[in-house]
Amino acid sequence: MPIKHTHIGGQAVLEGIMMRGKHNWAVAVRKADGSIHLEAHDLKTAVSKRPWLGKPVIRGVVGLYETLVLAMKAFSISAEHAGETEEEKLSSKEIALSMTLGVGLAVLLFIILPAVATNLLVGGATERPFTWNIVDGVLRVVAFFLYIWAISRMRDIQRVFAYHGAEHKTIHAYERGLPLEPRVIQEHTTLHVRCGTSFLLMVMVIAIVVFSLVPVRAITDLMGTDHRLVVLSVAIGLRIVLLPLIAGLAYEVIKWAGKTPDNPIVKVVLWPGLQLQRMTTREPDESMVEIAVTAMKAVIEREEGESPPADVGTDVAIAGG
């Protein structure tokens, strides 16, 4: 069926799914007693107050920041309602600490360690800059694949990945104008061109190009040093500083791809990311699809003007069977 473009997206959380639209976002979480906790909140974006933040590339940087903030809120809600006991529920401080440690681990695994390894294999970043950046980029992608493979072996993460699959399937059905019913939704694939997994891989690919253009030698010459440790530190620092720019460029690619999914060039560009999603998604059961539909409907109702602004939480349903 013809696909209509939609900006609605989402993410999997602990025993639940968050869906985000233009005006609101909603989180549906399966509680220990089988009921579904639903929260719908208004979405306040920086672009609505400062239109210039919606310009190409800049909007990707802003969007990434807002997505991280929203992710922390969604995980906090899911952690509060998914646990069976008070001991299993995470506090907001624990969620914030986990997110901070996660960002730190990502910088260590995907920026610092590949750069250090490249320095050992190739030499200084200014000696053979083109080769250095290629090897560094390849090692970064390999580290990313190994990380995804490793966490995909964990039972709890596999459940999150199954909710991830339910999110994608539900969005596919909505984009095709089909009824949001489990039987219909389950017929679709768990892969989607606008997935965050594809976005992260695109960031790593674009990073290879951008970092290859950065004149590390010129910068260290201005500093008056060619000490290998200093050169390595400059290369790592630039990689961290330029991450927002790279994220903004990757966002534009994914946004373009989402509007033209049948374009042959799009299919080639996004094929690696779609294959990676085979690791980050699992086939969901109907109870997981029910969660995705609950969150999606809360967003759709507001998008289509059928419900007033919301900032509420409620237990809405009991799982059957």
Model confidence over 22-68: pLDDT tens digits?
889 999 999 988 999 999 999 888 887 888 888 888 988 888 888 88
Cα atoms in the 13 Å half-sphere on the side-chain side of 242: 23
pLDDT in tens, 195-229: 888 888 889 989 999 998 988 989 998 988 888 89
pTM here?
0.85
Segments making up each domain of the chain, as ranges: 9-318
pLDDT band at 293 (very low <50, low <70, confident <90, very high): very high
Residues contacting 46, CB < 8 A, separation 6+: 53, 62, 66
Give burial (CB, 10 Å; 0-12/13-18/19+) of 304: exposed
**Distance between CA 276 and CA 44 in Å, rounded?**
32
